[in-house]
Structure 1
Amino acid sequence: MAESTAVRQSGRQTRAAAPAFDNSYAHLPDRFFTRSGANTVSAPKLIRINWPLAAELGIDAGWLESREGIAMLAGNGFPAAAEPIALAYAGHQFGNFVPQLGDGRALLVGEIIDTSGKRRDLQLKGSGRTLFSRGGDGRAAVGPVMREYVVSEAMAALGIPTTRTLAAVLTGDTVYRETPLPGAVLTRVAASHIRIGTFQYFAVRQDVEAIRLLADHAIGRHFPDLAKRDQPYLALLEQVIAVQADLVARWMLVGFIHGVMNTDNMTISGETIDYGPCAFMDEYDPAKVFSSIDRQGRYAYANQPGIAVWNLARFAESLLPIIHEDQDEAVRLAEEALKTFQAAYDVAFHRGWRRKLGLFAEQEGDLQLIGDLLKAMAGNRADFTLTFRRLAAEIEGPAGDSGVGRLFADPKEFDEWAVRWRRRLAEESKLPAERRQVMLSTNPKYIPRNHRIEAVIKAAVEDADFRPFEELLDVVVRPFDEQPERSDYALPPREDERVLQTFCGT
């Protein structure tokens, strides 16, 4: 396998070099964060290191496996150049504003310039208490750590902007939730951890100087060209709207449900962050909710674009004092910017749907064709991922072994739709092989299905067996490959395997 495959004890001695940290956020004023030292764990052991990501970051592989490296990954100790901090932020959680949240179980170890020249954060999740812990223990159980590792790396393989996972480590300590569970720490890599809630933290305190400092930092880090604009802060709002519109469209195209789209879980960079009660749909249902705490369906699959706009409006409110000195004009400009979300989202969403159906050109009636398929899928409980994956075999006519129709409770509904779809395909001059290649490179065969994730967590918790985790991860990081020896991983759950709820893991 490409990555470490065994849970190993504390590590070997080595002369390899520690990461070359180049920190910037830690040099902002102290009110942006609190400084924090190590919170020791008793017996750190590697679960897995993401070697390809380590290479991309320019981190010495030998050092990561050393005692010093594992100590950093567990939160037991840090290289001299690291400046561990817990970030301050606020946020709307399920629509209710909380003026102080912050990193209650996370620690930003430092920043690294990767091999392509991009600045990346290195953050620990589950490393212990900080001043923002609000009575919590600051720890994480192994289950949520494994879920985030699998799902974040699957998202990266699907080409969706996301935070990444560098490593997972067992702590040797027990954490207590409903039951005692093995503790673990996840090392997360992000373009940054600046959230909408970070701006809200200073806006609610009417700290305009901090809002401006944070906006300048975000522009310099993520969108440096905006600094040249006549209205750079309005341009920042417009750019964040654009990247979030594209991101949420990508979620929708693969059936991903974030589950907890609070404003503190939306990044300025446009990366997916905080894989708590997230899930991929099995059968298509626009009202689908998995999160155990989303009792009203606020963050259901179909609601995600609207929630993104709502969150972005909160971002716009935070920026008003620096967008324009005249408050009425600032509001007008912000409102005009927010109106651009729908057009940006529609472009990404509709372009993606056409690719999923093997369509190359835009024609009137395409959206109706797409909508009718989704309606039929919802009414027949058809599997979202497999319907589109198997569609490539149906381009030239019904293929008896493709199995698309068998995904529908009433196969005739698919057959009738497919006649219209093939008629539409015939209006373009693309060869079937070319069309099929696009569809197979757009529609994944493998996603991290909920029942598979639950199975690997159960094996790790009950039997300390991480082999199922290794295998699932190796499957989902190649989502478009056929992998015939692992084709069972593509199948939906049996009725007794269905997962109805997912949990935050805090």
Structure 2
Amino acid sequence: MSSPHGFYFDNGYARLPERLFARCEPTPVAAPVGVLFNTALAGQLGLDASTLDSPDGAALLAGNTLAEGSEPIAQAYAGHQFGYPNMLGDGRAILLGEQLTPDGQRRDIQLKGAGRTPFSRGGDGRAALGPMLREYLISEAMHALGIATTRSLAVVATGEPVYRETALPGAILTRVAASHLRVGTFQFAAGQRDPELLETLVDYTLQRHYPELRESDNQALALLDSVMERQLDLIVHWMRVGFIHGVMNTDNVTLSGETIDYGPCAFMDQYHPDTVFSSIDHQGRYAYGNQPAITQWNLTRFAETLLPLIDTDTDTAVQKATNVIRSFSGRYDAKWLAMMRAKLGLFGDDPVDATLIQDLLDWMQ
């Protein structure tokens, strides 16, 4: 359904079984004022920048009013946080709907910092202005660097304080994503111990991101392999630019292959593989140099959720999934070497290239 601002929603996720989300609306704020607006992205989405980059538009992007056709929901998901499982969900983000763009794409429009949801677990559901500006800037920088990422449409100040260590000005970020499907979404579904729910989620994921796999003999196994391929490409790009995500929990691993959640993240100024950028990552689990291995670990957790659909015989399912997971290292090494050759301007395929590149990295360190 179209709206005066150009929103044209078709909300497939809101038609899935309601165990996967909770219906809830944003909590209105006192005095919404636009701070940043991404006019170019608005055009790509088919939205009217002239009406959205205005006081009325700020009220809509703060959640004080709802666009026609929106069906606000908070998504349920689980996740391994620093290696430990937890039940999570959108504690401060509300998905307004799925925008159908002029070029036939489908994009989630989500408000981050839009107030409490059933998954807030004692949190206030709000966000501070500084971190929302940071996500806007870094996500758009990542996009400009050619790295798959969620995008930022707008930052709106709320006119209300949020209380962390001190009182900070509040804000809401409008995030745009190919989807918010995560490894953690499948962990939540698997935890329901309902094969039909898991099959429904696989079918939705294939329809949304991997339609070419719908004719596969083993859809779940093909999905695992294709998600791995996109994650491999993503991590190689992170390594290319010295990006440290900081919080590579399974709920921050998208099935679309986009970078998501710009909390404690950074670009290295000086090369060192042990560089960490998270005040709570005391063991260096998510250090720059650990990112490929952690990605493989996260994909192993994804594989575990798919076992019942890969094969009815558990041992056979484990073997098939393990074969895919074990292919990660070889595939990563090949992609990383190709990236570094291109980065350094090396032509051809010389056997000594890997040694030359490692020598350079050792010197840089």
Taking structure 2 as the reference length, the TM-score comes to 0.98
The CA distance in 1 between the partners of 2:332 and 2:101, in whole Å, is: 30
- Structure 2 counterpart of 1:183: 170
- Structure 2 counterpart of 1:451: none
Q: How far is the alpha carbon of 1:115 from its aligned partner?
A: 2.5
- Structure 2 counterpart of 1:285: 272
- Structure 2 counterpart of 1:41: 29
The answer on 1:370 being equivalent to 2:351 is: no
Aligned AA for 1:94?
F
The answer on 1:64 being equivalent to 2:25 is: no
The CA distance in 2 between the partners of 1:80 and 1:331, in whole Å, is: 46
Aligned AA for 1:326?
D
Aligned structure 1 segments of 4 or more residues deviating by more than 4 angstroms: none
DSSP-derived class of the 2:152 partner:
strand
The answer on 1:319 being equivalent to 2:306 is: yes
The CA distance in 2 between the partners of 1:165 and 1:174, in whole Å, is: 22
- Structure 2 counterpart of 1:428: none
DSSP-derived class of the 1:54 partner:
helix
1:12-44: CA deviations, max 9, x gaps? xxx944411111101111111000123010000
- Structure 2 counterpart of 1:75: 63
- Structure 2 counterpart of 1:498: none
Q: How far is the alpha carbon of 1:245 from its aligned partner?
A: 0.9
1:337-390: CA deviations, max 9, x gaps? 112222222222111101111112110110111101110110xxxxxxxxxxxx
DSSP-derived class of the 1:209 partner:
helix
Q: How far is the alpha carbon of 1:68 from its aligned partner?
A: 4.0
The CA distance in 2 between the partners of 1:194 and 1:223, in whole Å, is: 13
Counting only pairs closer than 5 Å after superposition, residues 262-411 of structure 1 correspond to structure 2 as 262-378=249-365
The CA distance in 1 between the partners of 2:67 and 2:54, in whole Å, is: 12
The answer on 1:169 being equivalent to 2:175 is: no
Out of 30-39 and 65-74, give the one that drifted further.
65-74
Aligned AA for 1:62?
S
- Structure 2 counterpart of 1:92: 80
DSSP-derived class of the 2:263 partner:
coil
Q: In the alignment, which of 202, 205, 229 is matched to residue 192 of structure 2? A: 205
Out of 112-121 and 156-165, give the one that drifted further.
112-121
Are 1:16 and 1:62, in contact at CA under 8 Å, matched by a contact in 2? no
1:143-202: CA deviations, max 9, x gaps? 110110111000000000000001001000000000100000000000000000000002
The answer on 1:31 being equivalent to 2:19 is: yes
Aligned AA for 1:293?
I
Q: How far is the alpha carbon of 1:70 from its aligned partner?
A: 1.8
Q: Whose strand fraction is larger, Structure 1's or Structure 2's?
A: 2
Aligned AA for 2:126?
R
Q: In the alignment, which of 100, 107, 111 is matched to residue 120 of structure 1? A: 107
- Structure 1 counterpart of 2:133: 146
The CA distance in 2 between the partners of 1:335 and 1:92, in whole Å, is: 20
Q: How far is the alpha carbon of 1:232 from its aligned partner?
A: 1.0
Q: How far is the alpha carbon of 1:80 from its aligned partner?
A: 2.6
Are 1:320 and 1:334, in contact at CA under 8 Å, matched by a contact in 2? yes
Identical residues among aligned pairs (%): 58
Counting only pairs closer than 5 Å after superposition, residues 448-487 of structure 1 correspond to structure 2 as none
Are 1:109 and 1:122, in contact at CA under 8 Å, matched by a contact in 2? yes
The CA distance in 2 between the partners of 1:131 and 1:72, in whole Å, is: 22
The CA distance in 2 between the partners of 1:80 and 1:114, in whole Å, is: 16
The CA distance in 2 between the partners of 1:360 and 1:115, in whole Å, is: 40
Aligned AA for 2:354?
L
Q: In the alignment, which of 209, 216, 239 is matched to residue 229 of structure 1? A: 216
- Who wins on radius of gyration, i.e. which is larger? 1
DSSP-derived class of the 2:214 partner:
helix
Note the aligned Cα RMSD (angstroms): 1.1
1:197-244: CA deviations, max 9, x gaps? 000002122122111111110000000010011111110000001110
Out of 147-156 and 108-117, give the one that drifted further.
108-117
DSSP-derived class of the 1:274 partner:
coil
Out of 233-242 and 15-24, give the one that drifted further.
15-24
Return closer, same or farther for 1:63/1:22 CA change in 2, 3 Å cut-off: farther
- Structure 2 counterpart of 1:434: none
Q: How far is the alpha carbon of 1:67 from its aligned partner?
A: 4.3
Aligned AA for 2:130?
G
DSSP-derived class of the 1:228 partner:
coil
1:121-140: CA deviations, max 9, x gaps? 00011111000000000000
- Structure 2 counterpart of 1:457: none
1:100-138: CA deviations, max 9, x gaps? 200000000100112221111000111110000000000
1:32-66: CA deviations, max 9, x gaps? 10001230100000011101111111111122134
DSSP-derived class of the 2:323 partner:
helix
Q: Structure 2 regions of 5+ residues with no counterpart?
A: none
Are 2:35 and 2:157, in contact at CA under 8 Å, matched by a contact in 1? yes
The answer on 1:103 being equivalent to 2:123 is: no
Are 1:173 and 1:182, in contact at CA under 8 Å, matched by a contact in 2? yes
Are 1:106 and 1:125, in contact at CA under 8 Å, matched by a contact in 2? yes
- Structure 1 counterpart of 2:235: 248
Are 2:95 and 2:111, in contact at CA under 8 Å, matched by a contact in 1? yes
The CA distance in 1 between the partners of 2:100 and 2:8, in whole Å, is: 8
The answer on 1:21 being equivalent to 2:9 is: yes
Q: Structure 1 regions of 5+ residues with no counterpart?
A: 1-14, 379-506
